[in-house]
């Protein structure tokens, strides 16, 4: 497939086979997520902890939580059935960097058996700087950080609290710390040549116009893609926003914002938010064929 004109050839070399990044590749290569990381260290107003993290997956679904060993068995079972499998991602259902021991154990076990699989994670960024060196050692070549603001004042409307270094922070202080850690994490990844995509959740009246500023900051710090996702506000899921009547953007509002961002870090338009336990080619979810009860105890 063809390289977009404005993309660095070295970046293109890394992503051309990646189903999440290349519109072409997503027809030929498959990715899967394993939901091994249930714990999270922040509270987003749009999140209900019963469901998957909205960082990189469709909110409002419950994924089958796995231990690292169960995840290893599942990945091998899928690799045997889906020859196009090229990418293994950990996208929650909480935060892959906060629930670090499980993320690391899963990647170590899987890459022992399938050394050429590409590894990636998504994270809210708070714990990210603590693990960037290990991510580089494990050959994780793609990271997604969800960044919804670069102004902590705006952050106070999105994040009621964070849990950092054994302490809970609220208010402006919480958002200030989160912001600094997100920027530091992004800079550290860029310095190590790890590709970083930014996801932003567009929340009308809260951060919609502000995402233009976010786009500038992340582009300056080396993010290679910026993906704006609409807030899916559903009171039935009991999110804080849902309860206060926060609406999601209309399709036209989302498109208008994406058009304004087009000149910045290259915008990703083909993303379909997938489940934290998605399996298969993009736009296809074979996750239900590979639930634990269908996977043999011993896989080779």
Residues that bind ligand SF4 (CB under 6 A): 20, 31, 33, 40, 42-44, 47, 53-56, 87, 89, 91-92, 94-95, 120, 122, 124, 142, 144, 274
Tokens of 107: 């990647």
What does the alpha-carbon distance between residue 126 and residue 131 come to, in Å, rounded to a whole number? 11
Cβ 174 to ligand SF4 shortest distance, Å? 12
Q: Pick between residue 87 and residue 183 the one whose CB is nearest to ligand SF4.
A: 87
Q: Pick between residue 60 and residue 260 the one whose CB is nearest to ligand SF4.
A: 60
Is 298 exposed, middle or buried (CB count within 10 Å of its CB: 0-12, 13-18, 19+)?
Answer: exposed
Cβ 268 to ligand SF4 shortest distance, Å? 10
- 33 φ, ψ (degrees, to nearest 5): -110, 145
What does the alpha-carbon distance between residue 30 and residue 228 come to, in Å, rounded to a whole number? 22
> Measuring CA to CA, how many Å separate 127 from each of 83, 145, 224?
34, 11, 21
Q: Pick between residue 200 and residue 252 the one whose CB is nearest to ligand SF4.
A: 200
Cβ 252 to ligand SF4 shortest distance, Å? 25
- 298 φ, ψ (degrees, to nearest 5): -110, 120
Cβ 298 to ligand SF4 shortest distance, Å? 26
What does the alpha-carbon distance between residue 122 and residue 91 come to, in Å, rounded to a whole number? 5
Q: Pick between residue 124 and residue 246 the one whose CB is nearest to ligand SF4.
A: 124
Q: Pick between residue 56 and residue 64 the one whose CB is nearest to ligand SF4.
A: 56
Q: Pick between residue 122 and residue 215 the one whose CB is nearest to ligand SF4.
A: 122
Beta strands at 225-230 and 195-202: parallel, antiparallel or unpaired: parallel
Cβ 42 to ligand SF4 shortest distance, Å? 5
Token pair 């900051």 in the structure block, residue: 217
Q: Respond yes or no on whether the N-terminal peptide bond of residue 8 is cis (omega within 30° of 0).
A: no
Tokens of 33: 């997520």
Cβ 104 to ligand SF4 shortest distance, Å? 16
């Amino acid at each position: 497939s063809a390289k977009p004109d404005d993309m660095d050839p070295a970046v293109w070399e890394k992503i051309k086979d990646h189903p999440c990044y290349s519109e072409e590749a997503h027809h030929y290569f498959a990715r899967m997520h394993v939901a091994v990381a249930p714990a999270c260290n922040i509270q987003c107003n749009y999140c209900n902890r019963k469901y998957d993290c909205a960082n990189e997956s469709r909110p409002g679904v419950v994924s089958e939580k796995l231990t690292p060993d169960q995840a290893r068995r599942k990945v091998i079972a899928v690799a045997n059935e889906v020859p196009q499998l090229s990418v293994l991602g950990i996208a929650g259902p909480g935060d892959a960097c906060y629930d670090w021991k499980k993320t690391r154990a899963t990647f170590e076990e899987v890459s022992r058996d399938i050394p050429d699989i590409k590894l990636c994670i998504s994270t809210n960024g708070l714990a990210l700087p603590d693990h960037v060196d290990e991510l580089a050692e494990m050959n994780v070549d793609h990271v997604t950080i969800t960044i919804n603001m670069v102004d902590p004042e705006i952050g106070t409307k999105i994040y009621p609290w964070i849990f950092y270094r054994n302490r809970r922070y609220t208010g402006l202080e919480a958002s200030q710390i989160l912001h600094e850690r997100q920027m530091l994490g992004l800079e550290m990844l860029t310095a190590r040549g790890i590709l970083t995509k930014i996801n932003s959740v567009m929340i009308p009246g809260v951060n919609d116009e502000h995402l233009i500023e976010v786009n500038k900051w992340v582009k300056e710090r080396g993010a290679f893609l910026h993906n704006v996702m609409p807030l899916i506000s559903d009171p039935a899921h009991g999110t804080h926003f849902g309860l206060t009547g926060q609406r999601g953007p209309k399709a036209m509002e989302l498109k208008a914002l994406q058009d304004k961002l087009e000149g910045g870090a290259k915008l990703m338009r083909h993303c379909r938010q997938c489940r934290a336990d998605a399996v298969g080619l993009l736009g296809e979810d074979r996750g239900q064929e590979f639930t634990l009860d269908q996977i043999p105890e011993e896989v080779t």
